[in-house]
Chain A
Amino acid sequence: MLRLPKFEVATPTSVGEAIALLAEAGPSALVVAGGTDLLPNLKHELATPELVVSLAAIRELVGIRVDADGALAIGAMTTLAEVAASELVRTRAPALAQAASLVAGPQLRTMGTLGGNVLLDTRCQWINQSYFWRSALGFCLKKDGTKCHVVEGGQKCVAAASNDTAPALMTLGATLELEGAAGRRSQPLDDFWIADGIYNKKLSHAELLTEVRVPPTAAGHRGAYGKLRERNSIDFPLLGVAVRLDVDASERVQAVDIVVTALAAQPKRLARVAELLIGIAAHGAEFERAVEAVASTAAKQCHPLPNIPGDHEWRKAMVPVWVRRTLRAAAGRGGPVHED
């Protein structure tokens, strides 16, 4: 078995205590929530922290509630299994519940948390490997090396955002509640990402994600998540498509948003979708024609790279298929879209 490197573990019982520990320890300290991503990465020596701050004992970070303003507030340490099963989430944010239900496998979802999934490190076939493997390769841009093996001569890391819940939350207009030594801030998820696979988020080392807030959804809100993967469990997404489709009382599309992930370092919002869908009925021949048009514009906008394992040409071919299927699922109050 691969061994974990040696590090100290702190288990603070409050957010304030955790932030103080992180601020004191400096940038080498890491945070562990469920550990389902961090621990394998540590075994691969992708990081060698001296201190790991566990959030497991901070009760205030767990729970799902609806605030007075109608927003859904989910504590960062709420497990993915709880998010997937929550009636509040399923009714108000179906795409999020669906995305959470498709992360990894059942055992991992009882450990993995929503916060951990949103902040999941980017992934690449050239980086998520043991130290020996990466040393045989001569390392890569993301860590310890200077070359990109995905894009020849590439100067920017294109490791893929692989967090299923992030695109769903983006379609829902979610905000991250962050807390650091300098105080609290609300960070719209849309503006959270940086196009850099080495570190793809605007989160400083001593900041904690405490809560994810989803503003109230419209009465006619519909949403779905589609995940492409080789197996029907365990695997990270080869492609993820989140759809928001709000309709009015006469079933006409009022608002639409589609975010695709597992392409490059950050989730990608599809452009020119609203103009194709808004105002038309969410069923029937006209809708089908619009779905086709959206699928073909998605194919033009999305360019899967050979960053994550598997056939990237096939992933590319699957962009319109998954966009189509997930749109239809959202319109028909269905989903999630996967192989089962």
Chain B
Amino acid sequence: MAARDRHGKDAPWGEFAIVGKPQRKVDGLAKATGAAIYADDIALPGMLHAKTLRSPHAHARIVSIDASKALALPGVHAVITGKDLPVKYGVIPWTPDENALAVDKVRFIGDPVAAVAAVDEDTANEALKRIQVEYELLHAYLDPRESLTRHDPAIHEGRKEGNVSKNVLLEFGAVDQALATSDVIVEDEYTFHGTTHAAIEPHCAVAQYSADCVLTVWSATQITHYVHRALARVLELPPHKIRVVQPCLGGAFGGKSDPFSLEFCVAKLAMKTGRPVKMLYTREEVFYCHRGRHPMQLRYRTGASQDGKLQGVDARVLIDGGSYSSFGLVTTYYAGQLLTGPYAFPTYRFDSTRVFTNKPPCGPKRGHGSVQPRFAFEVQLDQLAEKLALDPIEIRRRNFVGEHTTTVNGQRITSNGFLACLDQVERASDWKTRHGKLPFGRGLGVAGSMYISGTNYPVYPNQMPQAGIQLKVDRSGLVLAFTGGNDIGQGSNSVVQYIVAEELGLALDQVRVVAADTDLCPVDLGAYSSRVTFMVGNATIDACRKLRTELVEALAAHWKIDAKRVRLIHGEALDLEDSTHHLPIVEVFHLAEERFDTLGATGSYNTPELGGPYRGGTIGASPAYSFTAHVAEVTVDVETGRVRCEKVWIAHDCGRALNPMLVAGQMEGSAYMGVAEALMEEHTVNRFGLHRGPSLLDYRIPTSVDTPELAALIVESLDPEGPYGSKEAGEGPLHPSIPAISNAIFDAVGIRLKHLPFTPGKVLAALAELRAHSGEPTLAGEAR
């Protein structure tokens, strides 16, 4: 970590003028008025429309493809198949196992097989029906347990691990010994089902190939830089002949962080036809693209001393990866690596195995790889508290890992506001007077979590900065900030605007942001792992401080005063000791340009060396961790089995809240998503391997009337390395809502739900089992 990467927690001019106050988002008005341009809004002269032919079989060999009848259809310009795009890719460079279009075999129902470009969508759809594909069916794997032991036929041929995608076994300290000497042991199994992102905007890409052989791809992506690299690889073009642009994005949540088939297809079709080409996925196709949360079967064994102190945790996790690797290597590590806070684990072992199945490929969804183990462990922690007759909040306090410490797996923790998070939710929910004392059918549950603010694992190994930014100063008084960061609705462009205005003393409307255009913007690795505010924010401060030095020096020379007396604020320059000295900042720009020539600056950020000294030790190592605690309040209807989440109190330590309104929005949105996963959503296939309901009618996400009251409680433990002390807020606040609901159900009616989702049928079955155990026709508590 260089000096340029650390800028301290304090305001650049002593007190904050913009940061820490609610501010409008840079794209708020454009979105609200419908003026924002999304990928599907792009229409170019002569543009063709493309569609994808998909596999109707879960696992099959392609014997032959005959597209002659499709090509003969008037209005069809080109048909491409796997032969046109034979180079494999994958977002993780070590596991390139995807083709833009299937080569030789298909691996799930919905796998892309061919693409057509035609004058309009209807002609393209008609052409798809005329492509004849002959398949030879293969055994389809729908159960991950089968993929563990059966490897013939292999879903991906030529791998020595067969259908096992990745295994990680790591042990820290003497776990078995610690468990053997623990006063109490809790051991149990948990299931996390699959869920998907359900972003409102479907995937869409438009490509144009110019006469001078420059390929431009506009895509609804959250990782412009990786798409750029993947296009160069697959299309075998020099990277400098490719430009990738992310237009305004209608939600992503991790679902747009892989390179996708449509990006390669529109590019290839544009090159082949000489016309611009657009492809917009249907909602059904978005469900097939998936890359959603991995289903996991989890087994935890936890030992503790009589006073509730954890002694050892032993975990075994089976991960259903679906048909491709995607981020799976990272997922398999995250499923173990991110659990070692906010509680101290003296010893820990995890054995995570990801397998391939013939289902839509899983990938990163908000809280990548760590929401599932967090659910299991936080329920187990509640079971431990029950066994020891400890208050569930108290057991979490007792095991607090601390701040400025290192976890058992070698992760460096800096700031840590977890205890304050627990205090806040305890107070706000009136926990002490209500937990365990509410009428039968109503209950409170707590859970905690931590999450990364980016990681120092840059997906492809390199020593270059993770984030870069460029500032252009205009004689008009405008500063343009060019960032490779992807604003996916989380507000990262707004954060850049706030920081530039804060640093240079500008009014917000004097800063505009150009983002996620590989021709115009310096590289940023993209919007994933909750890295953008932390990393791009630091890079922005770095660039601003270089520029600020020039502005201040030019002005100090002009006024013939010491530079320390200069203050830039709200678009004005002031002399702190002489009120007759004041200038609009645009004139300072002129003074500085006279003195230093054309003005501009670049800024960068790179992570410090982090992580444990073992293979995989850097995966999950973050420059700063966010911490969260939730209390959920539920009611359970024992007659119907319906669980209703009434309210969630969300306390989240995001370091300094750069814009508290945006932070609260992320916290509420995260908790909403968690509640949805706990009670409603289920991404799954039926006995034929067909997606059970690839539509927003059948894939149930809560409507506004199904959404609980959400109370965001911001905790600010200023981080020594975050921009002004800030950390992430986009993913961490999702984690605890799911286990908190399970724990609240236990408080409400005395059943432990360990297998997601918590459907009414499961609740009724658990209640019936409880009644059978207690030997009473009705539960004791029902009379309460």
Contact = CB atoms under 8 A, between A and B. Distances in A.
B463 interface: no
Interface of B: 54, 56-57, 109, 121-122, 125, 202, 280, 282-284, 639-642, 644, 680, 688, 690-695, 697-698, 700, 702-706, 759-761, 764
B608 to A, nearest CB: 46
A146 interface: no
Given A233-B704, A314-B761, A340-B705, 4 more contacts: A2-B283, A136-B57, A136-B109, A137-B690
Contacts of B695: 129
Interface string A115-138: 000000000010001101101110
A340 B703 CA distance: 12
A1 B284 contact: no
Interface in A280-318: 309, 311, 313-314, 317-318
B125 A3 contact: yes
B703 A314 contact: no
A115 B202 CA distance: 34
A67 interface: no
A129 B282 CA distance: 13
A235 interface: yes
Contacts of A135: 56
A91 interface: no
B680 A339 contact: no
A339 B56 CA distance: 38
7 contacts: A2-B284, A136-B690, A232-B703, A309-B693, A311-B760, A313-B761, A314-B760
B109 to A, nearest CB: 5
A119 to B, nearest CB: 20
A231 to B, nearest CB: 5
B425 to A, nearest CB: 26
A279 B477 CA distance: 86
A162 to B, nearest CB: 12
Contact of B693 (A2, A125, A233): A125
B111 to A, nearest CB: 11
Contacts of A270: none
A130 B641 CA distance: 32
Contacts of A317: 641, 761, 764
B194 to A, nearest CB: 16
A230 interface: yes
B703 A234 contact: yes
Contacts of B706: 231-233
A57 interface: no
B56 A136 contact: yes
B680 A6 contact: no
Contacts of A58: none
Interface string A1-22: 1110010000000000000000
B54 A132 contact: yes
Counting from the closest, the 3 A-B pairs by CB-CB distance are: A136-B56, A314-B761, A232-B705
Contact of A318 (B283, B640, B644, B688): B640
Contacts of B698: 125, 309
Nearest to B51: A3
A105 interface: yes
Instruction: Give the dominant DSSP class at A's interface.
Output: loop
B764 A1 contact: no
B759 A235 contact: no
Interface of A: 1-3, 6, 105, 125, 129-130, 132-133, 135-137, 230-235, 309, 311, 313-314, 317-318, 321, 339-340
Given A231-B703, A311-B761, A339-B644, A136 B688 contact: yes
Most buried by A among B109, B282, B644, B698: B698
Contact of A105 (B283, B693, B703): B703
Nearest to B57: A136
A135 B690 CA distance: 11
A148 to B, nearest CB: 14
Nearest to B699: A309
Contacts of B642: 339
Contacts of B691: 133
Nearest to A130: B284
Interface of B, helix, strand, loop or mixed by DSSP: loop
B294 to A, nearest CB: 23
Nearest to A43: B282
Nearest to A125: B693
A203 B57 CA distance: 39
A231 B702 CA distance: 7
B707 to A, nearest CB: 10
B637 to A, nearest CB: 8
Contact of B639 (A2, A3, A321, A340): A321
A137 B695 CA distance: 16
Nearest to B644: A339
B193 to A, nearest CB: 14
Nearest to A230: B700
B760 to A, nearest CB: 6
A204 B64 CA distance: 46
Contacts of A314: 641, 759-761, 764
Contacts of A6: 122
B269 to A, nearest CB: 19
Nearest to A236: B697
Contact of A133 (B280, B690, B697): B690
A321 B282 contact: no
A105 B705 CA distance: 11
B21 to A, nearest CB: 36
A235 B692 CA distance: 16
A231 B121 contact: no
Nearest to B760: A314
A105 B693 CA distance: 19
A238 to B, nearest CB: 10
Nearest to B55: A136
A135 B54 CA distance: 11
Nearest to A132: B54
A311 B56 contact: no
A298 to B, nearest CB: 15
A335 to B, nearest CB: 16
A339 B125 CA distance: 41
B688 A2 contact: no
A340 B646 CA distance: 11
B607 to A, nearest CB: 41
B24 to A, nearest CB: 28
Nearest to A325: B639
A235 B702 CA distance: 11
A317 B638 CA distance: 12
Contacts of A231: 680, 700, 702-703, 705-706
Contacts of B764: 314, 317
Nearest to B125: A3
Contacts of A132: 54, 56, 284
A78 to B, nearest CB: 25
Contacts of A2: 282-284
A321 B640 contact: yes
B687 to A, nearest CB: 9
A233 B695 CA distance: 16
Contacts of B640: 318, 321
A303 B284 CA distance: 31
Contacts of B639: 321
A129 B283 CA distance: 12
B140 to A, nearest CB: 12
B284 A133 contact: yes
